[in-house]
Amino acid sequence: MKLDNTDVRILKVLQENGRLSFRQIADRVKVSVPTVSSKVGSMENMGIIKGYTATLDPEKLGGISVVLSIKTKPVDIKKVSEQFLENESVRQIFMLSSGKLMLMCTFHHQHLINEFLSKMADIHEIIEFDIANIVTVVKENQRATVTPESSVVLTCDYCKKEIHDNAYKVKKDDREYYVCCPVCQKGFEVKYDGIKADSVKAKA
């Protein structure tokens, strides 16, 4: 599924400044405010726009940032990654094609790094790991790049498979959902309507 030129221009403007109003975006992209509102709403529903947050400087907040590379058996990599999901110091977790995990972490004291590494010793599925402090940030941009060649990979809201080609749009209660085929479209509509009917009955 391809983005059109207006989608691309809107995303580029939002990447530069996520605080702009729809009217300010419309002025820059040269489209109407309703067009911006509709486009942004659709891209939020598709998961392209994940949120609007302030970008903070960890070093200005006294943080010590480190990169961790963790080696484990392929069968254990998901289990090991889940051990770090609730840890506030672990800011990003990446599964690499090499079969390793890469963690980006920020701590506010050296002793917290030592405590973190001690707890890692209790995760028996970890074979080995490397750790390095980030000394200087030379370049740090968002991972997402937006170009006219960008295509959207959606997840079917019914069977949860990835959709690489054209998706089927289902609109329910002023929200758009996406499915991969007519069979999933029918299944999603039946499931959605059933859940809604049960909810109405429960409130009655």
Model pLDDT for residues 176-188, shown as the tens digit of each residue: 899 999 999 999 9
The CATH number of the domain where 37 resides is what? 1.10.10.10
| Separation CA 134–CA 120 (nearest Å) | 20
Express each pLDDT in 41-87 by its tens digit. Answer: 999 988 999 999 888 999 999 999 999 999 999 999 999 999 999 99
- Does one domain contain both 124 and 69? yes
d(CA 78, CA 55): 28
pLDDT score of 201: 84
Q: Domain of 178? A: 153-204
Q: Is residue 127 part of a domain?
A: yes
Question: Which backbone phi and psi does 42 adopt, to 5 degrees?
Answer: -65, -40
pLDDT at position 1: 75
Whether 130 has a pLDDT exceeding 90, the answer reads yes
What rounded mean pLDDT belongs to the chain? Answer: 93
Average pLDDT over residues 17-26: 96
**What's the burial of 90, exposed, middle or buried (CB within 10 Å: 0-12/13-18/19+)?**
middle
Residue 164's pLDDT band (boundaries 50, 70, 90)?
Answer: confident
Residue 139 maps to a domain = no
Please indicate, yes or no, if residue 37 is contained in any of the structural domains. yes
Are residue 41 and residue 83 in the same domain, yes or no?
no
Helix orientation angle between 33-45 and 22-29, rounded to the nearest 10 degrees? 110
Q: What band does 131 get if pLDDT is binned at 50, 70 and 90?
A: very high
- 138 domain residue, yes or no: no
Does 6 map to a domain? yes
Please state, for a pLDDT cut of 90, what percent of the chain lies above it: 82
Domain total for the chain? 3
Amino acid 120: pLDDT: 94
Q: Average pLDDT, stretch 112-141?
A: 95
